[in-house]
Amino acid sequence: MIQQQTVVNVLDNSGAKKAKCIKVLGGYKKKNSFLGDTIVVSIKELRNKSKKTSKVKKGEVYKALVLKTKSKQFNKDGSLSFFSSNCVCLVNKQNKPIGSRILGPVSRKLKKKKHTKIFNISTGII
């Protein structure tokens, strides 16, 4: 569950390390976002090695897709899934990822929510 003012990790190689959620998109009075939802973020911290070659800059505003949340979620088969941190992937206006790869596994639910490009460039599947 990600809401406004939540600091999240960025999992792609766009150059950002941490971002802060500004707004949850997807409806009137929507306060929380879950796996596969789109949020608006502001870049707070860049990766050390890529400050000069980064595709993003500190303080800029981007859309992001939620890949992992700390809150527990129940699957259809009754099993429980949760991650250790809140993570997002930066996307452009056409909902295509800014980075060329995702550094970590993503959930299988993203494929059902029509995010196949992000699902394909990830390193693993949970």
| Sequence spans of domains, the chain | 7-125
Residue 79: the pLDDT is 77
Question: How far is Cα 42 from Cα 61, in angstroms, rounded to an integer?
Answer: 5
Question: How far is Cα 71 from Cα 85, in angstroms, rounded to an integer?
Answer: 9
**How far is Cα of residue 77 from the mean position of the Cα atoms in its chain?**
25
Q: What residues does 63 pair with on adjacent strands?
A: 40, 91
12 vs 71 pLDDT, higher one: 12
Q: Are residues 82 and 71 in contact, defined by beta-carbon separation less than 8 angstroms?
A: yes
The CATH label, of 2.40.40.20, 1.10.569.10, 2.40.150.20, 3.40.50.150, for the domain at 7-125 is 2.40.150.20
pLDDT surpasses 80 at 75:
no
Question: How far is Cα 93 from Cα 20, in angstroms, rounded to an integer?
Answer: 18
Angle made by CA atoms 42, 86, 64, in degrees to the nearest 5: 40
Q: Which helix (H) or strand (E) holds 118?
A: helix 116-121
Residue type, 2: I
Question: How far is Cα 80 from Cα 53, in angstroms, rounded to an integer?
Answer: 39
Give this prediction's pTM: 0.88
pLDDT in tens, 78-119: 777 778 899 999 999 998 999 999 988 888 888 777 788 888
